Amino acid sequence: MTGSARDRAAAVLTRHGTLLLFLLIVFVFGTQAPAFIGPENLGNVIKQASFIGIAAVGMVFVLLTAGIDLSVGSVMYLGPLIAGFAMRDYGVGVAGGLVVAVAAGAVMGAINAFLIVVLKIVPFIVTLSTLFFFRGFGAYLTSSRQFDFPDEIRAFGLSSVFGVPTPILFFVAVALAAHLVLSRTAFGRQVYAIGNDEPAAAKAGIRVGRVKASVYIICSSLAALAGFILIAQIGRLDTGFGEGREFDVIAAAVLGGASLFGGFGTAFSAVIGATMIQAVKTGLVFTGTNLYLQPMLQGLIIFAAVFLDSLRASRLEMLRRRFIRPV
Amino acid sequence: MTELLSFEGLRKDYFGVPAVRDLTLGIRKGEVVGVIGENGAGKSTLMNMIGGVVAPSAGEMRWLGALYHPRSPSDATARGVAFIHQELNLFTNLTIAENIFVDDFPSRFGLIDRTAMRQRTADLLRQLALDVATETDVEKLTPGERQLVEIAKALHRDAELIIFDEPTTSLTPRETAKLFETIERLKADGKTILYISHILGDVKRLCDSVVVLRDGQLVAQEKAEGFDVPDMITAMIGRALGGLYPERSAAPSSDILFSAKGLCQPGILEDVSFDIHAGEILGLFGLMGSGRSEMARIVFGLDPLEQGELTLQGNPLSGGVRARIASGVAFVTEDRRAEGLLMDAPTVDNLSLVSIEEFGRTSLAFLDQARLEQSTEHLKTEMVIKAGDIRTQPVRALSGGNQQKVVIGKWLMRQPDLFILDEPTRGVDVGAKFEIYAIADRLAAAGSGVLFISSELEELTGMCDRIMVMNRGEVTGRFDRSDFSDRDILAMAFGKKPETNGVAA
Amino acid sequence: MNDGGLSAAHSARETPVPSMRQRAMRLFLSDFFVLYLSLAYFLVLMPFLPTLSNPANIANILSNMWPLLVVAVGQTFVLTIAGIDLSQGSVVGFTSVVGAMLLATTASPDVLSNAPIWGTIITENGGPLAGVPGGVAIAILVMVAAGALIGAANGIAIAHFQMPPFMVTLVTMIVISALAIYLTQSENIRNLPESYIQLGKGDIVSVYFGEQDESRIPRRQIHSFVTYPMLIAVTVAICAHVLLNRTVFGRQVFAIGINRKAAKISGVPVKRVIVLVFTISAICATVGAILYSTRLEAGRPTLGDGNFLLDVIGATVIGGTSLFGGKGKIIWTVFGVFFFVLLSNTLNLMNLSSFHIDMVKGTVIVAAALLDVLRTRLIQGDAL
C-alpha cells in the first residue's frame, strides 16, 4: 500500500533531511546564478566555511557529551592574539605562532574543563563566564586596540599547496582527524557513551572526568586554530573579532546533525553544517539579496533543519514505542 | 560441589539500623540460586556488598574460600562478578561490539582493532544464540536482545558469578523463555547464577535452590524441588496469607460505571472489552509485556487509540488527559518517581496539582491559599501521610509508602469516578501496602470504580471482586471472586488457554 | 515550591538556639543572600570609592537597574520551566524600532531614505501615529502585540513541535534582529515624542541636596529616585511575583519545570503553559525595549545586541534561578540584577576599562554558580 511507500519516503526525508535541504539550496542558487555552482565558487565557499567549520568540529566533541561551549567566540580572539604577541615581540615564526595559538586555546579549554569537571559547575554558566573573561583579557592585552600581525602571516594565510588553499587543507585535515578520533579510537567511542548515559558510563568504568575535560580542551584548541587561520588571511585582529560567533559555531554543528542532548553527531556534521551556512551566505550574495535580509534567510534555513531534526526525533521515539504483539 | 561464595555472620547497618544481619550462607559453584524476599528484606544490600558498592559492617565474605572484600564495583568485576540489572546499562547509540568493549577497547596503533573486536563479539553472540550482526546499534534491539548483550558483556569479562536482578520485568514471555534457556546454558558452562525476582513461579521453575530473606535475615534456604510458591510466600512474609488484606466493606453495585468496548491499537491491544461496576475493584493481571500498563495509558488518554469505545457513566470519553480528568478518571502511574511526583516540591504542591484549577477562579487569578492549605492538610490527615511540614519539606524526603499515598491523594481531591491504579504497591513496605489496600476499599465503598493493575497475583486475589487476565495485548481470562485460582490465572497470563473460564465481564 | 525549594531547608533547620555555624548557614541559604552580598560589597567599597554613595551615583545605579530587571523577570519564567530564551535581545531591538517608526515626529531622508519603511510607514513627517492623540498608547499596544507574537511563535515551536528552546530562540534571535536591522537599514530612528520619552526619563520624586537659598536649582544636582521606569519595573516585578507564586498558572509553571511528565499526567495544560511562558518572556523584553529606547530617545535595531542577553541570563542565574528548571523566584532576580548593575557601576567608578569589567563579570558569574552548587549540595544533604 501507499502507507509503506509513504513511510519509506518519510524515513528517507527524516534521516537525510539536512542533506536534501543542502542540495535543494545549491540547486536553487544554481538556477538563479549559474556561476554559483562553478568549481571556483564552490572552492571559495569551502574556504570561507573553514573558519566556522574548524571550530564546529571541536564543538561537536562537546555537544556529543551533552555539554555546550559558549566561549569559542572569545577563544577565537584570545588564542591568535597571544600567538600574535609571540610572533611580534618574540620573533616566533608563523608555524610557531600557530602552535602558540593552539596551545593557548588548549589552556583556555583546560580552564573550562577544570570548572566543569572538578568544580562541577554547569557548562552553560562556565563557558558563559569565560566568554566574558577571555575577551576581557584579550582587550586588556591590546588596550582594546586593533592588533597588527607581522606581514609574513598573510603569506601563509593566502598560500596554497598544489592549488589547494591552506585554509581548506587545514579544514580537511581537522575534519578527517576528528572523524578518525571519534569513530576509531577508544576515546572517541567513550565520548559517545558519555553523551548517551553519563552515570552508566561511569559505572562501566569509563573515566568520565578525563574524557569530558578532553572534549573542552579539544574544542578550545580548534576554536583558536580556526581564529588563527582566518587571521592569517586578514593580517590583523580587531577587538570585536569572533564576537557572537559561538552561535554560528553551535548552529553549524547542530545543522549538520549533532544533537544538543548529546550522543549524536559526527565530525562531518560540522563540515556539512558550516558549508551549508556558508553556501547560503554566498548564494545570497550571488543572487544580490539585500545585505540585511541575508541573516534572516539563514535563520529560516537553520530553523528548517532543526525542525527536520525534531521530526526525526519524534519519529525515532515512535519507532521505539514497544509493540507487544505483531502488527 | 565447592562453594563459590560464602558469607559468615555478615551484617550491614545504615545509620545504626541493620539492613542485613547474621547472614551465614554458601552459594555453590555452578548452581542457579533464587533470592527472594519482600522489598526491604535486604536483597539489594546483600547484592551491593557482593558488588563492592557498600562494605559490610561486620562479618566476612569468601570467594572460593579466600577472603573477599571488594572495595569498588570494578574490584568485584575484576574478581568475576557481573550484574544484569532491570535497567540495563547499555549505550543505545553504540554498536553491540562497542558496548561489550566500552571500557577496554582492543587497539592497534592507537586505533580500535575492529577486526579483533568483531570476532570476539561474534563468538560471544554465537554462544548466546543471538543472531544479530555485531555492528548493529543497540538502539535497534528489543529489550530481550539487549539483555543478552549485557550477558555477553559479562561473559567477555569472564564472570563467574552472574547476578540477575528482576531480569524479566521488561521482557515479553517469548523473550523470557529465551532468557531462561540462556541461563540454563550458562549453568551448563559452570557459571554460578543468583536470580532475584518477585515472580515466584519463575524462581521455582528456574532455580536449583532458593534463599529467602526477611528483615535482613536468612529465613530459609531450600532446594527448589518441593519448595512451592505458597511456602515461599509464607517464608517471605513470616505468616500465612490472610490478614494481609482489609475486609471489603461494601459489595459492588450492579450499575455499570465504566465500559470499554473493542479497544484495538495495532501492536498493543487487540479487541479488549470490559466493564467496571460502581463500587467494584476489578483486578487486571498480566506479566510484563502483557499490555496491562499500555491499556491503562490508553484508557487515560495518554496514548492513542485507533479503534474502540470508552464510556464513563454512559458518556463517551474522548480527547486527551485533561478531558479524561474532567470526566472523572484518575490515574496512579506505575513509575512514581518519573511520572507521579514532583520530587523537589513539597507535599502541598503535589497534593493540589491535579485540582489546582479549582483553587483559583481563572488560571491567572489569585489562588485561594487558605482553602488550598486547609484541603491538603485535611487530606494529609485523612490519608495518614507521615510528613514533616507539608508546605516546605520536598516529597523526596518521604518514605516510599508515603510518597505513594501522596500520588493517590492528589486524585482524591477531585473525587473521581474511575480510579486506575497501576502497580500501586510497588516499592512499598508491608504496612503501607495494607493502607493502600484500605484506600482502594474506601474508594470502592464510596461508589467509585477501581481498575487495580498488578503483577502480584496475591494482592489481586486478596482485594478484587473480579480479575481480568491479559497476555500479549489480549484478554485471556476473566474470573469472579468465587472462581479465583492462582494456577488458572497464571496459566492464562502465560497465554496457555484461550478464554473459556469464568463469566464474561 | 512556592518557596522555590530553598527555604525548605531553611526552616527545617530552625532550632531554639542557633549556633554561629547554623546562623552562618541560614544566612548562606537565605533568599536574601545575594542582597546581603551586594550590600556587603557596597559597604566594603564605600571607603575606597567616595563617589559610590553619592546621590547621583545611586540614582544612576537605579536607572540602570530597571530596564534590565524587566527583561530578566521574563527570563526567570523561562528558566523556571527549564527553558532558555536567547531571543529577548532581538525582541528589544525589534520592538524599539516598531515603536519609534510609529511615533517619530519627523525623520530625515538623509538617514532613512534607503529603508524599506521609508515612504510607506515613515516619512519626513514622521510615523503614522505622530501627533495622533493617544498615539503613544496605541504604539505601545502594537509593540506589545509584536513582542507577544514572537514569543508565542517561540512557544509553539517548542511546545508543539518539541524543538529545543536553545535552537528555536537562537534562530528567532538571528531572524528578528536581522529583520529589525533590515527595516531601518541599520539606522536609528530619532525624534520621538516627548510624552513617550517621559516613560524612560520622567521622574516623580527627585531630590536636591544642594543649598536651599538659590533661586534656581541647577538641573544636574537634581537626582531622580522615583522615576517612571522604576514604577514600571516594580509593577512588572510585583505582577510577575504574584503570577508565579499566587496563581494556578504559577503552580503549573513550577510543576512543568520540576517534572514535565508528571505535570502532564496530572492534567497540567503543558503546551499552553509553555507557549504562555515564552510569550511573557517576549512581552517583558518589549517593556524593556520601551525603557531602553525612551532613555536613548531613539529606536535602535541593535539595542539588544552584543552581550545584552548574557547580562540578562547572568543576572538571573546569579540571583539563584536554576537553569535546570523548577527553581526560580522573582525576588532572587531582583537581587541578581541589583548585584550585576552594582558590580558594573563600581567597576566603572574604579575607572576600569570595559575589558576589566568583562573579566570581573566572568569571574563573578562563575563564583555565583559555584555558590549555587554548594548551596544545592547543602540542601540535598539536608533533605536526606
d(CA B256, CA B317): 15
CB contact under 8 A, A189 and B98: yes
Phi/psi at B307 (nearest 5 deg)? -150, 145
Nearest of B391, B402, B475 to residue B433 by alpha carbon: B402
Instruction: Determine the distance from the C-alpha atom of residue B141 to the mean position of all C-alpha atoms in its chain, rounded to a whole number.
Output: 22
User: CB burial class (10 A; 0-12, 13-18, 19+) of residue A137?
Assistant: buried
Strands (E), B87-178: 107-108, 111-112, 161-165
- What's the average model confidence in pLDDT over A303-322? 74
* Strand ranges inside B2-134, DSSP E: 3-14, 17-28, 32-36, 58-63, 66-67, 81-84, 107-108, 111-112
Burial A182-216 (b: 16+ CB within 10 A, else e): bebbbbbbbbbbbbbbbebbebbebebeebbbbbb
Helix axes A17-32, A294-320, angle to 10 degrees: 150
Higher pLDDT, C220 or A267: A267
- Maximal CA-CA distance, chain B: 77
pLDDT single digits (tens) C254-283? 999 999 999 999 999 999 999 999 999 999
Q: Which three cell numbers stand for residue A278?
A: 556558508
- Predicted local confidence at residue B496, as pLDDT: 62
Q: Which of A246, A306, A309 to substitute to test the interface with C, most C CBs within 10 Å?
A: A306
Amino acid at C127: G
Strands B217-223 and B209-214: antiparallel
Interatomic CA distance for residues C281 and C79, integer angstroms: 10
- Across the interface, of A140, A144, A299, the residue whose CB is closest to C175 is A299
Does the CB of B72 have a partner CB in chain A at under 8 Å? no
N-term to C-term CA, chain B: 53
Measured distance CA(C148)–CA(C128) in Å, rounded: 22
- pLDDT of residue A143 exceeding 60, the answer is yes
Given a cut of 90, is residue A128 above it in pLDDT?
Answer: no
CA dist C371 and C373 (Å) reads 5
Asked whether the beta carbons of residue A189 and residue B102 sit closer than 8 angstroms, the reply is: yes
The pTM for the full model equals: 0.84
Along the 505 residues of chain B, how does pLDDT read in single tens digits? 588 999 999 998 876 778 888 999 999 999 999 998 876 678 888 988 998 888 999 999 999 989 999 988 888 888 899 988 766 788 988 999 999 998 889 988 889 999 999 999 999 999 888 888 999 998 888 878 888 898 899 889 889 999 998 887 667 667 888 889 999 999 999 999 999 987 778 888 899 999 999 888 898 888 988 888 778 877 877 765 556 788 888 899 999 999 999 999 988 899 999 999 999 999 999 876 788 989 999 999 999 899 999 999 999 998 899 999 999 999 999 888 889 999 989 999 999 999 999 898 887 778 888 899 999 999 999 888 888 888 888 898 887 788 999 999 999 988 899 999 999 987 776 677 888 999 999 999 999 999 999 877 888 999 999 999 998 889 999 999 999 988 888 788 876 654 444 444 3
For C90-116, what is the mean pLDDT?
A: 92
Interface test with C, best of A115, A125, A134, A296 (most C CBs within 10 A): A125
Residues of B with CB under 8 A from a CB of C: 300, 302, 321-322, 325, 331, 333, 338-346, 348-349, 352-354, 356-357, 359-360, 362-367, 369, 388-389, 391-394, 396-397, 410
Please tell me the distance from the alpha carbon of residue B258 to that of residue B321, in angstroms, as a whole number. 17
Contact of A36 with A234, CB cutoff 8 Å: no
**DSSP secondary structure code for residue B265 in this structure:** E
Cβ B472–A195 below 8 Å, yes or no?
Answer: no
Amino acid B502: pLDDT = 43
Grid cell at residue B292:
496491562
Helix (H, G, I), strand (E, B) or coil at B484: coil
Cβ of A326: how many Cβ atoms within 10 Å? 9
Kindly identify which residue of chain B lies nearest to residue A262, measuring between CA atoms. Answer: B93
Shortest alpha-carbon distance between residue A173 and chain B (Å): 17
**Distances C260 to A124, B307, C65, C80 between C-alpha atoms, Å:** 22, 28, 33, 12
Indicate the pLDDT class of residue C12, thresholds 50, 70 and 90: very low
Which residues 6+ apart lie within 8 Å of B350 measured at CB? B341, B342, B395, B406, B407, B410
Sign of CA dihedral A148, A149, A152, A155: negative
User: Which pLDDT does position B244 carry in this prediction?
Assistant: 72
Interface touch A136/C365, C-beta < 8 Å? no
Which CA distances in Å does B67 have to B2, B19, B26, B60, B62? 15, 22, 13, 7, 4
CA distances A184 to A192, A262, A266, Å, are 12, 19, 12
Pick the closest to residue C194 from C267, C268, C125, C105 (CA basis).
C105
pLDDT the model gives residue A76: 96
Cβ–Cβ < 8 Å for C136, A264 = no
Do the Cβ atoms of A71 and A130 come closer than 8 Å? yes
Beta-bridge partner residues of B20: B12
Q: Residue B167: what pLDDT?
A: 84
- Geometric angle at alpha carbon A191, from A185 and A194, rounded to 5°: 140
Q: Give the three-class secondary structure for B32.
A: strand
Q: Are the C-beta atoms of residues B68 and B79 closer than 8 Å to each other?
A: yes
Determine the average pLDDT of the residues in A66-87: 95
Query: Strand pairing of B3-14 and B58-63?
Result: antiparallel
Residues A206-221: what's their mean pLDDT?
96
Rounded CA-CA distance B275/B252 in Å is 12
* Confidence at residue C383, expressed as pLDDT on a 0 to 100 scale: 41
Radius of gyration for chain B, computed over Cα atoms and rounded to the nearest angstrom: 25
- Are the Cβ atoms of C268 and B333 closer than 8 angstroms? no
Contact between residue A193 and residue A36 where contact means Cβ atoms under 8 Å apart: no
Task: State pLDDT tens for residues A28-62.
Answer: 888 888 888 888 888 889 999 999 999 999 999 99
Assess contact for B208 and B224: CB atoms under 8 A: yes
Q: Cβ separation of A324 and B472 shorter than 8 Å?
A: yes
Predicted pLDDT at A323: 66
Neighbours of chain B (3+ CB pairs under 8 A): A, C
Which of B112, B139, B267 is nearest residue A323 as measured by Cβ atoms?
Answer: B267
Are the Cβ atoms of B73 and A203 closer than 8 angstroms?
A: yes
Which runs of E-coded beta strand occur in B313-434?
A: 315-316, 329-332, 418-422
Residues of A with CB under 8 A from a CB of B: 180, 184-186, 189-190, 192-193, 195-197, 200-201, 203-206, 263-264, 320, 322-327
- Asked if C311 and C295 count as a contact pair (C-beta separation under 8 A), the reply is no
DSSP character at residue B360 = B
C-alpha cell at B204: 521455582
Number of residues written out for chain C: 384
Which residues touch A188 (CB under 8 Å, ≥6 apart)? A181, A182
pLDDT at C210 over 70: no
Nearest to A192 by CA among A69, A65, A316: A65
Highest mean pLDDT out of A309-318, B468-477, C63-72, C349-358: C63-72
Number of H helices, E strands in chain C: 16, 2
pLDDT of residue A321: 64
Q: Which of B345, B348, B388 sits opposite C258 (nearest CB)?
A: B345
Vertex B169: Cα angle to B292 and B466 (nearest 5): 35
Rounded to whole angstroms, the Cα distance separating B279 from B448 reads 5
Name, in order, each residue with C-beta under 8 angstroms of C178's C-beta and a sequence gap of 6 or more.
A292, A293, A294, A295, A296, A299
